[in-house]
């Protein structure tokens, strides 16, 4: 079984469909389908429910991917850990919401594994950081990937999938999303961001009546407003540190919840860049550790 097959499986689970995984891997959807069938033949068990219009991964698909993820990371570490030291400078952008979640682990991994590699960090919005990578002003960035998959001129490596949630004032008793929107103003996140656009799409599809709207471009500010009883919002799960000062009630949105894909974006010309590959390994390692910590907490 080729190693690429397991990378393809991870892409299918991250993107949700064979077609989206094909765009990410720059192959055809039929090639993705063939790899998945070969993996099923190897395991002797189905990985997908094909009874609907789209193949849906079952529990075994997730178990196989989780089992192989650490092994693939270890192989990458061994490949990168030969006699040629990884050194130099990597200009790395990261969106603000992921800085407390992943940045400490990324920096720790790089310092421990590649002490001669320097990270120069920059924060900003996903669109701005992506444009900087395309222009060569940054070597890589950790950003929200557009639902369309992102421009094919860049390399997108999914790291995390984060479900958007509704946050309401701590004293709100209603559990129905529509009822909360009738009682409170909608404090929406900037529509020019991926998160804001996903939230707006969800509200447009599932909320029949909206009392009023205001818009902010700062997630911590939105949490503070909601905590003060001034509205409700649909955002990424807030940082626990922020919640200590500004408690809110978190309401899951169920199967229809928007899901944000957070990816490392690089230029395709840097596919063989050892320094960028080292940072990619650091991101993967940190993302896996974060996901395990979240799963253990639940």
What is the CATH class of 1-80?
mainly alpha
Chain position carrying tokens 């991870």: 10
Q: Report the pLDDT value the prediction gives residue 80, as an integer from 0 to 100.
A: 56
pTM, two decimal places: 0.67
Q: Report the pLDDT value the prediction gives residue 82, as an integer from 0 to 100.
A: 52
Distance CA 132, CA 154 (A): 12
Q: Which residues of the chain have pLDDT under 70?
A: 70, 77-84, 297-298
Q: Report the pLDDT value the prediction gives residue 40, as an integer from 0 to 100.
A: 92
Asked, colleague to colleague, whether 1-80 and 163-256 share their fold, the answer is no
Q: Report the pLDDT value the prediction gives residue 79, as an integer from 0 to 100.
A: 63
Q: Report the pLDDT value the prediction gives residue 83, as an integer from 0 to 100.
A: 45
Distance CA 183, CA 248 (A): 16
SS (H, E, C) 62-121: HHHHHHHHHHHHHHHHHHHCCCCCCCEEEEEEECHHHHHHHHHHHHHHHHHHCCCEEEEE
Instruction: State whether CATH 3.40.190.10 applies to domain 163-256.
Output: yes
Question: Could you tell me the residue ranges of all domains in the chain?
Answer: 1-80, 163-256
């Amino acid at each position: 079984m080729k190693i690429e097959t397991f990378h393809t499986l991870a892409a299918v689970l991250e993107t949700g469909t064979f077609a989206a995984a094909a765009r990410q891997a720059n192959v055809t959807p039929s090639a993705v389908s063939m790899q998945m069938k070969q993996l099923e033949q190897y395991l002797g068990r189905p990985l997908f429910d094909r009874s609907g219009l789209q193949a849906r991964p079952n529990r075994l698909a997730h178990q196989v991917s989780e089992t192989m993820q650490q092994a693939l990371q270890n192989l990458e570490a061994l490949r990168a850990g030969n006699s040629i030291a990884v050194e130099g400078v990597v200009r790395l952008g990261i969106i603000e919401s992921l800085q407390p979640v992943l940045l400490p682990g990324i920096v720790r991994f790089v310092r421990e594994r590649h002490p001669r590699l320097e990270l120069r960090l920059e924060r900003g919005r996903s669109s701005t950081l992506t444009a900087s990578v395309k222009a060569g002003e940054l070597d890589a960035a950790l950003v929200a990937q557009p639902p369309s998959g992102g421009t094919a001129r860049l390399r997108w490596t999914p790291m995390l999938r984060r479900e958007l949630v509704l946050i309401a004032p701590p004293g709100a008793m209603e559990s129905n999303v529509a009822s909360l929107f009738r009682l409170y103003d909608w404090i929406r996140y900037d529509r020019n961001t991926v998160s804001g656009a996903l939230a707006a799409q969800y509200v447009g599809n599932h909320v029949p009546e909206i009392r009023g709207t205001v818009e902010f471009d700062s997630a911590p500010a939105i949490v503070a407003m909601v905590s003060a009883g001034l509205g409700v919002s649909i955002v990424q799960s807030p940082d626990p540190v922020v919640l200590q000062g500004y408690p809110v009630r978190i309401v899951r949105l169920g199967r229809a919840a928007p899901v944000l894909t957070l990816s490392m974006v690089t230029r395709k010309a840097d596919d063989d860049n050892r320094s960028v590959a080292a940072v990619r390994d650091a991101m993967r390692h940190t993302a896996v550790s974060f996901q395990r910590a979240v799963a253990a907490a639940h």
